Amino acid sequence: MNPLKNLSVIRKFVQFLSFLFLVYGSSVVGFYAADKLSASLPALACAYDSKTADYCALIVLQHQLDHRVGMVLATGGAVLKALMPTLITLATFFVFMVILSKAFCGWICPLGFFQEIMTLIGQKIGLKSPSSLSDTTVNKLRPMKWFILLGLVFIFPLMTGLGFLGMSSGFGDAFCRICPSRILTTLMIGDPNQLYVDTSSTSLMIWSVMADFLFGLIIAIGLTVRQPFCRICPMLALQTVFKKAGLARLVKNSTEGCSSCGLCAKNCPMDIREIHTQETGDAVHPDCTLCGRCVEFCPRDNQLAIKYAVAPIFTSSKTYCAERTKAQKKWEKGSLIKNTPSLQTES
């Protein structure tokens, strides 16, 4: 199959360019310009990366809830003035979501790209993996991103600002303390300082051990399981709140044959089985990253489509599906270690 017609290849190229920009971008545009581009990008672009071209919205929200909103509520003062930075951050986030919606996860997020690369490496070294997780496992994992968003991003920082949690306990930026992107992006610029165990206090030691363990776990699991951290990422949950406003969306135009096919769900890296059972219309599930694989492997013409506003960008096609499936099988046979079952991952 011509790589220029392969949506997965195109997406990998966009992810690669996005990774370079988000991790090393200030080296090109300058640190001042990079700092002014935005402080609330809906992707895990880490502020701990000294060369980053942007900041992840989550660190900004945590800082504002801790040092502004929480402190003002605790000591008294102009509440609206304290809320304004947070409202501006959410408004900026909303604008980004209108432009690309949840495609930030599937096309731009550096940590998402890293996880996909780990899965591809796992396939090429011949590691055996199931094509998807069980329904029970998926259902248990789905609520976790909401608990992490509410607890680590909103409640803990706010409680710290209110004085219920110690300022030096690490709860003021709880999610950043364990975020694997903080370790990944700093390591990618040659800075190992975030991969450590902080022994200055018991709470900080626990946070740092959790962070190191989670990062290692993502690498280990990511070799055999598709998108392990994306399934619990609070950014995916926060994007879901604004997904209805997004111009980029997955649309189901027909339900004919869906009950007996299920190829879209089988090839979804997030194991969204509802794709083939739902009715026509907006098909953007809370776990959807708009990667487009369900559209690629749908064997029916115009049944699924990725649209921007009302304009179709990529539509399912019987011809494309046949070529894509053939390319997929060829890719899966190309393991570096022979005579080992290959993975069901994307090329």
Instruction: Kindly report, residue by residue over 183-233, the tens digit of the pLDDT.
Output: 999 999 999 999 999 999 999 999 999 999 999 999 999 999 999 999 999
295 three-class SS:
helix
pLDDT of residue 319: 95
Q: Flag whether pLDDT at 32 surpasses 80.
A: no
Instruction: Kindly report, residue by residue over 314-347, the tens digit of the pLDDT.
Output: 999 999 999 999 998 888 787 776 544 443 444 4
Percent of the chain with pLDDT over 70: 93
Are 66 and 51 in contact, with CB atoms under 8 Å apart?
no
Q: Per-residue pLDDT averaged across 46-50, rounded?
A: 86
Mean pLDDT score of the chain: 88
pLDDT band (50, 70, 90) for residue 138: very high
Cβ neighbours of residue 95 closer than 8 Å, sequence gap 6 or more: none
Q: What is the pTM of this model?
A: 0.90
Long-range contacts, 129-135 (Cβ 8 Å, 24+): 129/223, 129/224, 129/225, 129/343, 129/344, 129/345, 130/344, 131/266, 131/343, 131/344, 132/226, 132/266, 132/268, 132/271, 132/344, 133/225, 133/271, 135/273
In a 10 Å sphere around its CB, with 0-12 CB exposed, 13-18 middle and 19+ buried, how is residue 29 labelled?
middle
pLDDT band (50, 70, 90) for residue 172: very high
pLDDT of residue 344: 43
Instruction: Kindly report, residue by residue over 89-99, the tens digit of the pLDDT.
Output: 899 899 999 99
Are 69 and 90 in contact, with CB atoms under 8 Å apart?
no
**Beta 281-282 vs 248-252: how paired, if at all?**
antiparallel
Q: Flag whether pLDDT at 148 surpasses 70.
A: yes
Please indicate whether residue 75 or residue 156 has the higher confidence score (pLDDT): 156
Q: Per-residue pLDDT averaged across 264-269, rounded?
A: 90
**248 strand-pairing partners:** 308
Comparing CA positions, the residue from 64, 9, 15 lying closest to residue 44 is: 15
pLDDT of residue 34: 66
Q: State phi, psi for 341 to the nearest 5 degrees.
A: -55, 130
CA distance 298 to 293: 9
pLDDT of residue 12: 96
Residue with tokens 């019987």: 318
Comparing CA positions, the residue from 296, 235, 233 lying closest to residue 264 is: 296
pLDDT of residue 123: 85
Q: Per-residue pLDDT averaged across 100-124, rounded?
A: 93
**Beta 311-315 vs 304-308: how paired, if at all?**
antiparallel
Q: Per-residue pLDDT averaged across 13-30, rounded?
A: 88
Q: Per-residue pLDDT averaged across 114-124, rounded?
A: 92
CA distance 297 to 185: 32
Q: Per-residue pLDDT averaged across 27-31, rounded?
A: 73
Q: Domain spans of the chain?
A: 3-237, 247-332
Q: Per-residue pLDDT averaged across 21-27, rounded?
A: 87
pLDDT of residue 254: 85
Comparing CA positions, the residue from 18, 11, 47 lying closest to residue 181 is: 47
Single-letter amino acid, residue 253 = N
Q: Flag whether pLDDT at 69 surpasses 50.
A: yes
